[in-house]
């Protein structure tokens, strides 16, 4: 049995705040992850649904706005999240968006603002606030530091190596700058047939007695050559050897949503390829800054790194759900 939790939501207007609503617990289909949380609002002119694995740092929140009158789907709406404009995609009955929460977001309320003269005839806009849950990312103890080739942690490198690193950086920035319409309409899936996580998102680790940056993805254990599957439909925007990531692939899923796959033994796609969810795009390996065979899966939404598992956990993307 699944609990449907209307998380603490404060409804704000321009003039004054309305008291927060009480929690409601409802039964849901067994297909929905028991760990996911939902916010559901029935307004006069539309309904609002927000789903997340949890409302915390590094997570993705799925948003669906469904007008009560079907003709309003073609009207112009503006939505902002944490002060940034949100890319909305119109579907047959609703509008959807993906809201990233940076792992570095400060504690407090997260604000969603909807601007519409159709929905809010008098004031023209409305705000919703969700309280950010406390999040503690793992810190690896110094006596558990990771040993890697010294060439990955030293700054004393030959000019040709530094030039290659800069070339890789430029290629990655260009790939993540791509903009395209939303490419998918179904839920995300896992990148490997068998899932065993060896390193979680945003873990802070030391490399060769030097503090490293937080882990920007999730590591999955796998034997060299194990097939890697695209977690969602999209277009390949990068597929090449890079210095730190090894054999590296980035897939554009539209609306500034990207998944990326690092340390591959082999890349089986090329830039420009249209891939389908579940398609083999590479093989597990240990190239680049790696200590053993594994897949590093990452996700970025609107230039914000998020935990890819929070995308995979979403169950409401398909409109039929």
Q: Are residues 99 and 190 in the same domain?
A: no
* Cβ partners under 8 Å of residue 185, min gap 6: 91, 317, 318, 319
What tokens were used for 187? 């839920």
Three-state SS at 74? helix
Q: Would the CA dihedral through 201, 203, 209, 212 be positive or negative?
A: positive
Provide the pLDDT for residue 24. Answer: 29
Domain boundary among the residues 72, 106, 131 is at: 131
Residue 269's pLDDT is: 98
Walk along the chain (321 residues) in steps of 10 and give the mean pLDDT of each run. Answer: 39 29 31 73 94 95 94 88 93 93 91 92 88 82 57 75 95 97 96 94 67 82 97 98 96 98 98 98 95 95 96 90 62
Whether residue 267 sits in one domain with residue 164: yes
Q: Which helix (H) or strand (E) holds 294?
A: strand 294-301
- Write out the residue range of the structural domain in which residue 110 sits: 29-131
CA dihedral sign of residues 312, 185, 301, 101: negative
Instruction: Show the DSSP H helices in the chain as ranges.
Output: 159-176, 308-312
pLDDT of res. 11? 36
Last residue of a domain, one of 90, 114, 131: 131
Q: Are 200 and 250 in a shared domain?
A: yes
Q: Are residues 204 and 245 both part of a single domain?
A: yes
| Catalytic positions, written as ranges | 294
The answer to the question of residue 1 being in a domain is no
Q: What is the CATH number of the domain that holds 189?
A: 2.70.70.10
* CB 260 within 8 Å of CB 248: yes
**pLDDT reported for residue 262:** 97
The whole-number pLDDT of residue 149 equals 55
Q: What is the DSSP letter of 232?
A: S
For residue 208, what pLDDT is reported? 46
Q: What is the pLDDT of residue 108?
A: 87
Residue 272 pLDDT: 98
Final residue of a structural domain among 131, 147, 166: 131
> CA distances (Å), 118 to each of 67, 74, 81, 93, 125, in order?
10, 11, 20, 16, 10
Burial of 214 (0-12, 13-18, 19+ CB in 10 A): middle
Look at residue 227 in the predicted model and tell me its pLDDT: 98
Give the pLDDT score at 148: 58
Tell me the three state secondary structure of residue 94.
Answer: coil
In the numeric block, the tokens 């999955």 are attached to 220
Look at the chain and report how many structural domains it folds into.
2
Residue with tokens 């409109």: 319
- Domain check: are 303 and 181 in the same one? yes
Residues, the chain, total? Answer: 321
Instruction: Give the separation between CA 28 and CA 22, rounded to whole angstroms.
Output: 19
User: Residue 171: its pLDDT value, please?
Assistant: 98
């Amino acid at each position: 049995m699944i609990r449907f939790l209307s998380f603490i939501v404060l409804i704000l207007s321009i003039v004054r705040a309305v008291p927060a609503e009480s929690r409601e617990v409802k039964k849901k289909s067994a297909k929905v992850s028991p760990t996911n949380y939902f916010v559901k609002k029935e307004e006069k002119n539309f309904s609002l649904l927000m789903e997340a694995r949890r409302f915390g740092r590094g997570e993705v929140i799925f948003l669906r706005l469904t007008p009560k009158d079907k003709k309003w789907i073609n009207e112009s709406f503006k939505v902002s999240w944490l002060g940034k404009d949100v890319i909305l995609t119109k579907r047959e009955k609703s509008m959807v968006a993906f809201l990233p929460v940076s792992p570095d977001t400060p504690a407090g309320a997260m604000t969603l603002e909807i601007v519409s003269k159709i929905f809010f005839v008098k004031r023209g806009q409305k705000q919703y606030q969700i309280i950010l849950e406390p999040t503690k990312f793992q810190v690896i103890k110094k006596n558990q530091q990771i040993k890697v080739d010294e060439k990955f942690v030293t700054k004393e490198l030959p000019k040709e190596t530094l030039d290659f690193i800069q070339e890789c950086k430029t290629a990655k920035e260009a790939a993540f700058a791509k903009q395209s319409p939303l490419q998918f309409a179904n839920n995300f899936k896992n990148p490997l047939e068998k899932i065993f996580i060896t390193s979680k998102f945003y873990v802070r680790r030391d490399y060769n007695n030097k503090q490293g940056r937080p882990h920007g993805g999730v590591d999955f254990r796998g034997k060299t050559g194990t097939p890697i599957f695209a977690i969602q439909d999209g277009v390949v925007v990068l597929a090449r050897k890079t210095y730190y990531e090894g054999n590296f692939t980035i897939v554009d899923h539209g609306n500034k949503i990207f998944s990326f796959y690092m340390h591959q033994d082999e890349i089986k796609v090329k830039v420009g390829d249209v891939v389908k969810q579940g398609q083999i795009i590479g093989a597990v390996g240990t190239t680049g800054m790696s200590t053993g065979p594994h897949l590093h899966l990452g996700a970025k939404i609107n230039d914000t790194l998020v935990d890819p598992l929070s995308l995979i956990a979403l169950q409401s993307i398909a409109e039929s759900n």
